[in-house]
Structure 1
Amino acid sequence: MRVPVPDEILPADRLGAVHFVGIGGAGLSAIARIMLARGIRVSGSDGAASSTLDALAAAGATTYVGHAAAQVGDADTLVVSTAVREDNPEVVEAYARGLRVLPRSAGLAAVMADRDVVAVAGTHGKTTTTSLLTTALVAAGADPSYAVGGELAQTGTNAHDGAGALFVAEADESDGAFLVYRPRVAVVTNVEADHLDVWGTEEAYRGAFEEFLGRIEPGGLLVACVDDPGAADLVATARARGIRALGVGESDEADWRVVDVSFAGTTSTFSLASTGGVEVGPVRLQIPGRHYVLDAAAALVAGIELGLDAEALSAGLASFAGTRRRMESKGEVAGVRVYDSYAHHPQEILGDLQAARSVAGDGRLVVAFQPHLVSRTRIFGEAMGRALGGADEVVVADVYLAREAADPDVTGALVAGAVPLAEEHVAFVPELADVAAELVRRARPGDLVLTLGAGSITDVGPAVLALLEGGRAG
């Protein structure tokens, strides 16, 4: 549901006791962790039990599986996930009692009050770039607070209440949340049409990023990857409005050029050279892929512009061990390596397949993809299929429905039919439970199996490993 943002967003310490509806999600759980760290009384409910609920309970939250009006208790404020329906009994109870009801964006803005905000936005790469920047800032001694859409491998958590002045936040455009924040520094990875079920048109989507520029504090900074045309246009717009903007990328137009890029297995290396003659690097990353190099470069430039030591920042980037569900290794059995990634847009698929090729070496690339959302599949399904043509074997599951109803005319078959490989190398497997066996049937020793998608496809990798462990490979 869409909860309106109040005209005035109170700081977190003025919200009283806070109840989260959908507390197990990446966005709300991050806010809850920070509030708990600040001594705020937190409760929350979610539709299913999870390790996230267990961790929040261990940190002091009162958690519930399922939704009931009584669970609101004596809360003063509700923070509600966009995935929650309007008839949710806790939401209905809160409105009936006249409680303060906030969307996720306002909840995050409340915990960011009085901090110097660094907001990371973009169609792709937000979670990775936010995580890279956070890790770099920690290595440089900044001790930032952070809220990320995925768990950092180093910390095992998606949020932290730091002692420093900086707050690094993943700024989500999917529901307009990024238009609520007031960043000192805004980092934009790219601007490419997505979430058209919310924005309606590509023009409206791009217009939201232009509106985001207006949220940057006076005297603030935009850092954007100008290899992407949408982000390059945003830099030009920012400068026309008198906003300081720096372009990063391999493009000749970049203020900080990414140079000397190389890939070897699961690692990437690059250096930076500014138009002012400053050189930084080489920086060696533990993650593969050109898109991750660009993410890291943007994070490094943001850290430098915040006044932190480039060498310390680079060391932090070199130590970055990844984020859950972003080219995450799940294991290896019978010579078959299994990775999982969150890619659900054609451009993200292309980037992750490129990275996976580097890791696969002489092995083949066997990919399982689960389209995410009927609306996205309707618009981008054929482009998704074309992007999957970079694999050797492709298995497509049916659409993960999330917040939308099924459409018999929009299924995974739309994607599978657009994959430019011979018929015997592509399969549409409607039941997710059957995908693991199909992958194992196709995989051979030396191959890399990659599961892609923003939904439940993440459960397939462990199932593949279990089948391989049972001796049912190839």
Structure 2
Amino acid sequence: MIPANIRSQESLGRVHFIGIGGVGMSAVARIMVARGVAVSGSDAKDLPVMAELAAAGARIAVGYAAANLGNAQTVVAGSAIRADNPELVAARAAGLPVVHRSEALAATMGDDLVVTVAGTHGKSTTTSMITVLLQGAGMDPSFAIGANVPALGVNAAHGTSGVFVAEADESDGSFLNYRPKIAVVTNVEPDHLDHYGTAEAVYESFDRFTALLPADGVLIACSDDAGAAALAERTLARGNTRVVLYGTSEGSDLVLHDGGPGDVAVSSPAGRFALDLQVPGRHNALNAAAAVAVALELGVDVEAAARALAHFSGASRRFELKGEARGVRVYDDYAHHPTEVRAALTAARSVASGHRVHVLFQPHLFSRTREFAREFADALNLADTALVLDIYPAREDPIPGVSSQLIAEHLSPGGRLVEPGGAVAALTDAAGPGDIILTVGAGDVTAFGPQIVQALGG
């Protein structure tokens, strides 16, 4: 919940970001600078985005020190910042308000019409699609996205239209800090149980999210997803806002017709309209339908909305092409939940057009591996070759008895554990012309893509 004294951009005063180089933190800082807030920030490493922020007018420091706070009046701390960080310690000692980046962003939104995108999967892609669509239709939205988007050039910007499009992250409950008028929910599944504890707590948090919508607002939910459809039913029963459904069901308000690549369309009472999508997979077709539904709520012509989606080429690490060599295409995907892995591999199958698919997967978090090991294996078994690295721990300490072996023991004969040093050679030996290699996971597995392309070319 946003502190009572942090309700507007003016109430923030001078803002200091601890961990300003992160993709989410830098997005908020970028918008604040553009909206006239005095911004400073620091990070442990000198990252490229920090030079961009400095050029825009922010005061930037490399390395953490109490003196970096300067005359800050509000401090924004990234979720990865340790309690003993000298800047965080100094801020608390001085009695400065320390807020989550979502709280700072919500305060900055001001009187804008806020569109938020939440869901267990597809948030970054759908938020990106909405932004590209609105820009292509002649609107200039402000936006904040949790991934870099090549078609936009940046992952955050201040626009002039009075519409603010933001990715709303449920992983730590921070999506409850926003006050949207239009809320998209792509899907609802148990995840981030290290934070929530139970699946029921996840569902309850989404109920609280939709309860934030005003009477003249709207929930846009995916009818193809059981969790999102159930959320829509509960929201309708509560009666606090309208509900619009999108999906392949004929009972949806916006119906998706997905005949595969080159044959995607949506239909509404206004008619049927083809979507020219550059990104493959049913999941991306559904994300596109969500974007069109938002455009219709904002009064954008549906034909203009459909045409504008042709400019969307994907978000960073979302089935991102890393290169091609020896007739083998190499993609990278951020998928870190079984449903996401299955969607990525299904998309790879469609792109491979009958050729083989090889995947290098890195599990993310010990807790998630413990909860979904069998489901991960079932998804990975869609590939011809499935190689699994050790778990990327991120913020977690090891859990006794939990390792990638829990996944490996359920893999089909084409799957096995692999050491980092042998992964590139194993994949390049297995792949032939026309095949797809996919690196998958939310950790540092992304670094393997360029290495694989280089090895194929060499």
Q: TM-score, normalised by structure 2?
A: 0.96
1:130-169 alignment, distance < 5 Å: 130-169=127-166
Give the 3-state SS of the residue equivalent to 2:263 in structure 1.
strand
- Distance in 2 separating the partners of 1:151 and 1:91: 27
Q: Structure 1 residues 54 and 415 mapped into 2: Cα distance closer, same or farther (>3 Å)?
A: farther
1:187 is aligned to 2:208: no
Counterpart for residue 330 of structure 1: 322
Name the CA distance, whole Å, in 2 between partners of 1:319 and 1:141.
13
Which one is further off, 5-14 or 301-310? Answer: 5-14
2:378 aligned with 1:389: no
Q: After superposition, what is the alpha-carbon deviation per residue over 1:90-110, rounded to whole angstroms, capped at 9, x for unaligned?
A: 111101111121111101101
1:309 maps onto 2:309 in alignment? no
Aligned counterpart in structure 1 of residue 289 of structure 2, from 280, 297, 311? 297
Give 1:465's aligned residue.
453
The alignment status of 1:55 with 2:43, answered yes or no, reads no
Taking the aligned partners of 1:371 and 1:158, their CA distance within structure 2 comes to 26
Q: Aligned AA for 1:131?
A: S
Amino acid corresponding to residue 156 of structure 2 in structure 1: A
Structure 1: segments with no counterpart, 5+ residues: none
d(CA) in 2 for partners of 1:269 and 1:7?
50
**CA displacement at 1:220 relative to structure 2:** 0.4
Cα drift, residue 10 of structure 1: 3.0
Q: Which residue of 1 aligns with 2:428?
A: 440
Please report how far the alpha carbon of residue 138 of structure 1 lies from its aligned counterpart in structure 2 after TM superposition: 0.9
Question: Which among 253, 256, 271 is matched to residue 255 of structure 1?
Answer: 253
- Residue equivalent to 1:92: 89
| Partners of 2:119 and 2:170 within 8 A in 1 | yes
Counterparts of residues 208-357 of structure 1 (less than 5 Å):
208-242=205-239, 243-259=241-257, 261-264=258-261, 268-274=262-268, 277-357=269-349
Cα distance per residue 1:266-305 (max 9 Å; x no partner): xx5322223xx33231111011000000010011011101
How far does the alpha carbon of each residue in 1:430-453 deviate from its partner, in whole angstroms, 9 at most, with x for none?
A: 4x3542233223222221110111
Moved over 3 A (4+): none
Q: 1:418 to 1:54 in 2, by over 3 A?
A: farther
Tell me the alpha carbon deviations over residues 297-326 of structure 1, each in whole angstroms, 9 at most, x when there is no partner: 011011101111111111111111111100
Equivalents in 2 of 1:73, 1:452: separation in Å?
Answer: 41
**For the residues of structure 2 that align with 1:155 and 1:299, how far apart are their CA atoms?**
16
Q: CA deviation at 1:384?
A: 0.6
* Equivalent residues of 1:142, 1:164 under 8 A apart: yes
- Assess, with a 3 A threshold, how the Cα gap between structure 1 residues 204 and 113 changes in structure 2: closer, same or farther: same
Tell me how far apart the structure 2 counterparts of residues 60 and 450 of structure 1 sit (CA, whole Å).
Answer: 39
Q: In structure 2, the residue corresponding to 1:285 is in which secondary structure? A: coil
Amino acid at match of 1:322: G
What is the 5 A alignment of 1:57-72?
57-72=54-69
Aligned to 1:403, the other structure's residue is in SS state: coil
Confirm whether residue 76 of structure 1 aligns to residue 73 of structure 2. yes
The amino acid that maps onto 1:278 is A
CA RMSD of aligned residues (A): 1.5
Deviation of residue 348 (structure 1)?
0.5
Which residue, out of 22, 25, 39, partners 2:36? 39
- State the AA in 1 paired with 2:28: I
Instruction: Find the partner of 2:350 among 340, 354, 358.
Output: 358
The Cα of 1:391 is off from its aligned counterpart by: 0.3
- Preserved CA contact (<8 Å) 2:31 2:158: yes
1:456 and 2:440 correspond: no
Change in 2 beyond 3 A, CA 1:80/1:140: same
Q: Please give the alpha-carbon distance, in whole angstroms, between the structure 2 residues aligned to 1:199 and 1:138.
A: 36
Instruction: Report if aligned partners of 1:383, 1:418 keep a CA contact under 8 Å in 2.
Output: no
Q: What do the CA deviations read for 1:193-250 (whole angstroms, capped 9, x no partner)?
A: 1001101100010000001111112310010001111111111111112221011101
Structure 1 residue aligned with 2:102:
105
Q: 2: CA distance between counterparts of 1:443 and 1:33?
A: 42
What is the SS of the residue equivalent to 1:36?
Answer: helix
Aligned to 1:25: 22
Q: Which secondary structure does the structure 1 equivalent of 2:252 belong to?
A: coil
Q: Measure how far apart 1:408 and its partner are.
A: 4.8
CA distance in 1, matches of 2:260, 2:421: 35
**Is contact 1:125–1:295 with CA below 8 Å preserved after alignment?**
yes
Distance 2:15 2:169 in 1: 22
Query: Does residue 428 in structure 1 map to residue 425 in structure 2?
Result: no
List per-residue Cα deviations over 1:97-124 (Å, max 9, x = no partner).
1112111110110121211000100000
Letter of the structure 2 residue corresponding to residue 452 of structure 1: V
State the secondary structure of the residue aligned to 1:263: coil
The residue identity in structure 2 corresponding to 1:237 is R
1:353 Cα shift?
Answer: 0.6
CA distance in 2, matches of 1:456, 1:433: 14
Give a deviation string over 1:164-190, Cα, whole Å, max 9, x none.
Answer: 110000011001111111101000000
Q: Which amino acid aligns with 1:465?
A: V
Aligned residue pairs, count = 457
Q: Which amino acid aligns with 2:125?
A: T
Farther off after superposition, 325-334 or 247-256: 247-256
Displacement of 1:401: 0.8
Unaligned runs of 5+ in 2: none
**Distance in 1 (alpha carbons) for counterparts of 2:130 and 2:353:** 29
For residues 60 and 401 of structure 2, the distance between their equivalents in structure 1, rounded to whole angstroms, comes to 39
What is the alpha-carbon distance in structure 2 between the residues aligned to residue 352 and residue 297 of structure 1? 18
Q: Distance in 2 between matches of 1:212 and 1:428?
A: 39
